[in-house]
Amino acid sequence: MTARMIMKLQVAQARLTTPDVLHLRLVHPLRPNLPEWSAGAHVDLRLPDGRVRQYSLCGNPDDLSAYEIAVKRETNGRGGSIWAHDHLTEGATAHVSAPRNNLPLVDAKRIVIVAGGIGITPFVSMVRTLMKQGRDFTLHYCARSASEAPLLDELKDICGPSLQCWFSQEGSRFDPAVIGPSDPDTHVYVCGPQRLLDAVQSALADWPEDHVHTEVFQLTLDENFKAEPFEATIASTGQRLHVRADQSLLEVLRNAGFIVASSCELGVCGSCECGYLDGIVIHRDKSLPVSKRQDRMLPCVSRARVAVTLDM
């Protein structure tokens, strides 16, 4: 569990791509190049009060002279996006982490992408990469209207006929049935509002779980979940920690003096990921891939039934 490097970047360009989505171009004031990243990656934006928000990089992975992010003004959010809209004007400083990728592009024969509104951001770099590699893909882009679809002009230029727009106010509504039946050569990527994720996931219920990839920046925790206390044992020392029902494992580890990286504390960013050796873990996040859940967990939201032994 390592802390992520934070860089002081400068806002080189700030423009509204829709009335409520701010597109930012961030550069290093001294260095010509920023750390490398790949399609699907995101960065943390650190707010002045220490809170952190994740934003997908929506520029070109081949252009390391700048990072680009798009921030939707969420008037009913937790305040981070409003701060960004109000303060990240040209010349301002933004505290930004090195990129991390929870949504890598897989090497499948065919890629289908479904994006809703601001959920388009992780896919701009992905379609650039797919075009560059000459691969078969379709991007379904859902929004209320063209004027409310962030980065639409860029996407038209990048994708050509592989872009299919579904604008509900213009009478075309996306139906997940267009994705078709389960196909071993196809992987599907989805990002957008929860109802879009739910609709696509239920339409693809018989697809292999590892062929459907989702990016979630907000976690909807199960309101009916009843947390129970459990014991956590540190494998390297045998130290036993009690996690009360009203505490997270992350909180208990920190109270015991462990330095644990974290960012969202919502089970979304993956930065608190740690290993476990035994125990029944109740995974409550939506970001850890199924393939890692046998021995990795996110202690900010995930818990254990009775006891867990942590690989630390």
Binding site for ligand FES (CB under 6 A): 262-265, 267-272, 285, 298, 300
Q: Which is nearer to ligand FES, 18 or 214 (CB)?
A: 214
- Which CB sits closer to ligand FES, 1 or 27? 1
Beta-carbon contacts of 65 under 8 Å, excluding residues fewer than 6 positions away, are: 27, 32, 33, 34
Q: How far is CA 279 from CA 94, 230, 265, 291, in A?
A: 41, 10, 22, 17
Shortest separation between residue 303's beta carbon and ligand FES, angstroms:
13
Write the DSSP symbol of residue 141: E
CB of 1 vs ligand FES, minimal distance in Å: 10
CA distance 78 to 47: 12
- Looking at the Cβ atoms of 100 and 135, the one nearer to ligand FES is 100
C-beta of 117 vs 270, nearer to ligand FES: 270
- Do 24 and 13 contact (CB within 8 A), yes or no? yes
Contact assessment for residue 249 and residue 232, using Cβ atoms and an 8 Å cutoff: yes
From the CB of 28, what's the least distance to ligand FES, in Å?
A: 25
d(CA 205, CA 276): 29
Distance (Å, whole) CA 166 – CA 171 = 8
DSSP H/E element including 155: helix 152-159
Shortest Å distance, C-beta 67 to ligand FES:
20
CB of 168 to ligand FES, least distance (A): 32
Least separation in angstroms between residue 155's CB and ligand FES is 28
**Closest CB 276 distance from ligand FES, rounded Å:** 14
CB nearer ligand FES, residue 154 or residue 285:
285
In the complex with ligand FES, the residue whose CB is nearer, 117 or 267, is 267
Residue placing its CB nearer to ligand FES in the complex, 135 or 254: 254
| First-residue to last-residue Cα distance in the chain | 10
Whether 59 contacts 123, CB under 8 Å: no
How far is the C-alpha of 220 from the C-alpha of 222, rounded, in Å?
A: 6
